Amino acid sequence: MKKIKVAMIGVGAISGIYLDNITKIFKEIELIGVCDLIRERAEKAQEAYHIPKIYDTMADAFADGEVDLILNLTRPYEHYEVTKAALEAGKHVYSEKPLGATLAEGESLIALAEKQQLLIGGAPDTFMGAGIQTCRKLIDDGFIGKPIGAAAFMVCHGHETWHPDPEFYYKHGGGPMLDMGPYYVTALVNLLGGVSGVTGVVKSTFA
């Protein structure tokens, strides 16, 4: 089986789980290079995971003929431009969420991928995990009857209390709905079907 050769753009907080999974679990994928604005991050990843290449710029990764797929782990407000450039360079792309900061950006990337005859995918893929798939099977098998409602929530005291670099949450393309919301929305859509309407309610959980 031909391995898919991957270049990772962005070696920040989320990269650890990708590095572990790519190098230890998914043998169909080979991580051949990394790139980060802070070179020390790329160097640490290279040393820890025995990655062959460090790219000085993402353009260098896009120009590497050995690379099949770009793994876009940049900050949310950078996703669109990075993914767009990768697709234009002829690379398949898997991006962290969101694909873009707006619906229009996401749709334009999908259209570009189709035009280029490339594959594009994005997080979250957690609905494919054991927990949600167990729920999926219970519903499909009729174990709980017909679902008529569901609720999902996440509560914390603020991003600064747990995220090592929370600045991006307060920029275009960030925020709780675009960062944490997709996990729950994706799970509910997978279990219950597509969305027909949206209602918003604002509340301060903590004073």
- Which residues neighbour 89 within 8 Å (Cβ) at sequence distance 6 or greater? 62, 63
Pairing of strands 29-35, 53-54: parallel
Q: Which residues pair with 31 in a beta bridge?
A: 6
Cβ contacts of 145 within 8 Å, gap of 6 or more: none
Provide the pLDDT for residue 174.
Answer: 73
Which residue in 56, 97, 61, 104 sits closest to 77, CA to CA? 97
DSSP 6: E
Most confident of 34-48, 119-133, 189-203: 34-48
Average pLDDT of 102-121? 97
pLDDT in tens, 141-155: 999 999 988 888 877
**Is the pLDDT assigned to residue 196 strictly greater than 70?**
yes
Cα–chain center distance at 136: 22
CA atoms of 150 and 164, how far apart (whole Å): 32
CATH 3.40.50.720 residue window(s) in the chain: 4-122
Fold of 4-122: Rossmann fold (3.40.50)
pLDDT band at 39 (very low <50, low <70, confident <90, very high): very high
Q: Is the pLDDT of residue 94 over 90?
A: yes
The residue behind tokens 């270049």 is 7
Confidence of residue 118 (pLDDT cuts 50, 70, 90): very high
Q: What is the mean pLDDT of residues 48-63?
A: 98
pLDDT tier, 207 (very low <50, low <70, confident <90, very high otherwise): low
Q: What is the DSSP string of 40-89?
A: HHHHHHHHHHT-SEE-SSHHHHHH-TT--EEEE-S-GGGHHHHHHHHHHT
Q: What is the pLDDT of residue 181?
A: 81
State the helix-helix crossing angle for 181-192 and 130-140, rounded to 10 degrees: 20
CA–CA dist 201, 182 (Å, integer)? 17
The residue-averaged pLDDT of 10-39 equals: 96
Structure-model confidence comparison of residues 2 and 37, the more confident one: 37
Q: How far apart are CA 79 and CA 96, in angstroms?
A: 8
User: Is pLDDT at 28 greater than 80 in this prediction?
Assistant: yes
Who wins on pLDDT, 103 or 67?
A: 67
In the chain, pLDDT over 70 holds for what percent of residues? 100
E runs forming strands in the chain? 4-9, 29-35, 53-54, 69-72, 92-95, 120-122
> 95-99, 130-134, 144-148, 173-177: lowest mean pLDDT where?
173-177
